[in-house]
């Protein structure tokens, strides 16, 4: 099994990578910070010494870098079984007062990155054999902020609404190809975004919770697709 994960050096992306490493999957991961990426690569290889881990620096806001990342991945793995569009950032604010350029930054990072890498990986995925009944899986890590108005969400919420729409349209397009598209909508999950916030770590979810749900979908029959997952902290959103 070969898995591609964007934004995999921390948070949810890293947790998903660690889960798949434990299950014996080869991994292709990217992030902007090569130092953090190399550290993550070493951690993944220490979890399972039999897997192959390809780590490539990539600024997902840059279309050329995203497409180049996909090309490098396909040069290492001729077959891609799973694509996890996880890369993203959170910039709080209100539409009426957030900094100029905030919307562009969030759309480029949270939406365009998923759009461009999916288009680059899909031709190879569509050629996968159907011996297991499924050609591939695409996970789009969205957010509860893409389901309803989100306090202080501003352009972040707009970008996640757009990503949810992208995911739904992609699911419809890929049904005939036996490629499952899953929208993952996490609520507050422990990551760098919450460091220094003063919020009790036990109040919000762990990134491993999201990873465990993603992995479980791989165990379902070919006939079943989980279209959307929504996970929230037990005590609700923050």
Residue 238 lies in a domain: no
The pLDDT value given to residue 104 = 97
Number of domains in the chain: 1
Residue 12 lies in a domain: yes
Look at residue 199 and tell me whether its pLDDT is greater than 90: no
Residue 8 lies in a domain: yes
The CATH number assigned to the domain holding 87 equals 3.40.50.720
Distance CA 44, CA 25 (A): 10
Distance CA 180, CA 83 (A): 10
The pLDDT value given to residue 181 = 98
- Residue 164's contacts (CB-CB under 8 Å, 6 or more residues apart) are 140, 142, 146, 147, 183, 185
Average pLDDT over residues 210-227: 95
The pLDDT value given to residue 84 = 98
Largest CA distance in the chain: 53
* Domain of 171, in residue numbers: 2-231
Residue 147 lies in a domain: yes
Q: Decide if 156 is catalytic.
A: yes
Residue 236 lies in a domain: no
The pLDDT value given to residue 117 = 97
Average pLDDT over residues 143-157: 92
pLDDT in tens, 55-103: 999 999 999 999 999 999 999 998 999 999 999 999 999 999 999 999 9
Residue 125 lies in a domain: yes
The pLDDT value given to residue 5 = 98
pLDDT in tens, 6-61: 999 999 999 999 999 999 999 999 999 999 999 999 999 999 999 999 999 999 99
Look at residue 207 and tell me whether its pLDDT is greater than 90: yes
Q: Which of 137, 139, 150, 156 is catalytic?
A: 156
Residue 103 lies in a domain: yes
Residue 237 lies in a domain: no
């Amino acid at each position: 099994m070969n898995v591609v994960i964007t934004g995999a050096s921390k948070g949810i992306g890293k947790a998903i990578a660690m889960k798949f490493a434990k299950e014996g999957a080869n991994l292709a991961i990217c992030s902007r910070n090569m130092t953090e990426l190399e550290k993550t690569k070493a951690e993944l290889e220490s979890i399972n010494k039999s897997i192959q881990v390809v780590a490539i620096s990539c600024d997902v806001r840059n279309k050329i870098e995203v497409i180049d990342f996909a090309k490098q991945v396909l040069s290492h793995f001729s077959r891609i079984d799973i694509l996890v569009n996880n890369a993203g950032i959170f910039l709080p604010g209100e539409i009426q007062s957030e900094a100029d350029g905030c919307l562009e930054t969030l759309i480029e990072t949270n939406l365009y990155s998923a759009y461009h890498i999916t288009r680059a990986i899909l031709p190879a995925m569509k050629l996968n054999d159907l011996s297991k009944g499924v050609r591939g899986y695409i996970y789009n890590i969205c957010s509860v902020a893409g389901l309803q108005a989100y306090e202080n969400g501003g352009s972040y919420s707009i970008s996640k609404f757009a990503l949810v729409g992208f995911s739904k349209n992609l699911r419809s397009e890929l049904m005939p190809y036996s490629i499952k598209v899953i929208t993952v909508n996490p609520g507050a999950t422990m990551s760098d975004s919450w460091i220094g916030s003063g919020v009790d770590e036990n109040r919000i979810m762990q990134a491993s919770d999201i990873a465990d749900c993603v992995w479980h979908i791989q165990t379902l029959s070919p006939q079943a697709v989980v279209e959307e997952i929504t996970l929230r902290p037990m005590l609700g959103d923050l």
